Amino acid sequence: MLYDYATVSPSSVRHAVDEAIERGEALLAAVEAAEERTWGTTMAPLDELAATTVKAYGRGPFLGRAHPARDIRTAGQEAEQKLTAWQSDLVFRRALWEAVEAYAATDEAAGLDGERARLLEHTRRDLRRAGHGLPEADRERLRTLRKRLVEIGIEFSRNLDEYEGGLDFAADELVGLPEEYVEGLAEGESPGTRRVTLDYPDYFPFMDLAEDRDARRRLQYAFYTKAVDENRPLLEEAVGIRQEIADIFDVPSWAHYAMEEKMAREPEAVHAFFDDLIPPLQQKAAEELDDLASRLDGDRPRGWDHRYLHTAIKRDRFGIDPNEVAAYFPLERVVDGMFEITGEVLGLSYRRLDAPTWHPDVQVWAIDDAASGDHLASFYMDLFPREGKFGHAAAFDLVPGHRTSDGYENPVTAILANFTKPTATAPSLLKHDEVVTLFHEFGHVLHNSLGRTELVRFTGFNTEWDFVEAPSQIMEHWCWQPGVLARFARHHDTGDAIPPDLVDQLVAARDLHQGLFWLRQLSFGMLDMRLHGPGDKDLDRINRETSELSGFPFHEGTFYPAGFGHLFGYDAGYYGYLWSKVFGDDMFSRFADEGILSPDVGAAYRRHVLEPGGSLDAEELLRRFLGREPNEEAFLRQLGLQ
């Protein structure tokens, strides 16, 4: 039974969290008071607690990101702060640490294997990282610092979600933009102007197509200074707190502390990874910058020129007009095609559900096993922008899949995105990069939906943070396969399939300026590592130097980290996008070798990577699926670097 999202209210949002905390306190009290130390009295209640808090998040804090009513969003944001602060505080309970350590010393604990042994190991690690074993004063200071980090992260995200900046442009500054784009803009304050917001559906098409170079510069400036007054002080405080926590544990930096739980294990591995990639990427990017400069009469390209020149060159060189391509990607057909492909490869079927939602735009779907007909999971799709909604694209865990005494509880996931909404006269048409985004995020939905673990701790996408993107990176590859695109890409007016030559051109253009693209991603990762690794924390210098690593001069006066939400949640972990890209490419190489849409490879992928979730180390998942040690050869081949 899916939750009734149509009847939520601020009080129901608050109640969901209050009830979960009350239930959680009862579970913890029973653990701490138990006279006999067994799995049932010590560890099983902790996994039940994990299920309780995830469900509470789905009924409360999640709505702070998605609900159209401001009062419910506000209640959700407040509930998120309350729930997250309570969860963050759990590991500081001395009696809980004593209970777990007492259980770890039993013969039963010594005989554990599989997920249960892993849960005990991870729980002990969590408690150690909370300072148990440190002097009491350090433990209390650590507790205060971690609580404050939670508060800062929620406030940072809220400032971005609620930010309503933008610029007004006159008609001559909108030259190059499609008529339907301009007509979809709100009127500006001055007569004859149009308001371009900083939301993705406004910002990126403008940067792609607006011919006025200075207009692009001004809009990028606004985008790179988004929420800077509110969020820069929060970021500075967070960086300082993270380093203080590292000092308490006597490790060199927050990166060293945080990466203990990640696949890379230590920042030195990430820097070695970057060091191997930077020289060949810079060499490739230098040629690409010359290519961009050829369109500026020799002037040096700036950051605000990048997307515009890239789009123009792609269109001229490969005959690709993003709007022409978008005509073949009406959202409804893309979704149908995505379901058809993943159903075929992974042995799934999909069916639409009639269930109450938080907004009329939201669709609800069930995932079933095609062979047995067994129901596996449900998910919500909320794909269009609206005021106050989460501004990016992401998947959210609403109900965790896990084994219970009553059988397996199937997972429920939500995908939030911000694609152009259909109108009375036109469907939602996706740019190709939006198609890639949809497939990517649906990879997270599948990862969370197809997990089949006993315990909540390891279900679905609860893997190491620097591996969690790999199952989504693998999904992106299908968006570049001519045979795959030809199956569902059809013109929204004529119904004609996308022409084979246009598919060929799209695929040929795929790697255009990829050196610059990956240098930019690497610059984000380096910013994150510089903020959280050893050494000086001069935010302005770090911002400038890592920005220039992207290949473009620094945009003076900007501070884009204030709008970089990944610095909370992916702190000392943003490198994971590139890191997991390497492993996603490596996994897809098996499809490339044995069949792009091979059900046999898909079955192995589902069995060895998706179903185990985080119940095994990521390296082991890769070895089992690939039948060998993972490597970066496929990634380098795609970029033409090997």
Q: Which residues are catalytic?
A: 441
Tokens 């694609």: give the residue: 419
- Residues 446, 342: Cα–Cα separation, whole Å: 9
The conformational region for residue 76 under phi > 0 = left, psi -120 to 50 = alpha, else beta, is alpha
H or E element that contains 579 = helix 576-594
Estimate the crossing angle of helix 70-90 against helix 10-33, to 10 degrees.
Answer: 10
Long-range contacts of 272-280 (CB under 8 A, 24+ apart): 273/575, 273/578, 273/579, 274/522, 274/525, 274/526, 274/529, 274/575, 277/518, 277/522, 277/578, 278/519, 278/522, 278/549, 280/636, 280/639, 280/641
Alpha-carbon span 260 to 585, nearest angstrom: 25
Assigned token pair, 427: 């469907």
Tell the burial category of 297 from Cβ atoms under 10 Å away from its Cβ (0-12, 13-18, 19+).
Answer: exposed
Q: Would you tell me how many other CB atoms lie within 10 Å of the CB of residue 88? A: 17
Q: Which two tokens stand for residue 249?
A: 């544990």
Q: Six-digit token pair at 407?
A: 């059988």
Give all strands of the β-sheet with 348-353 in edge-to-edge order. Answer: 348-353, 363-369, 375-382, 412-416, 394-399
Contacts of residue 35, defined as CB under 8 A and 6 or more positions apart, other chains included, come to none
Angle among Cα 415, 420, 426 to the nearest 5 degrees reads: 125
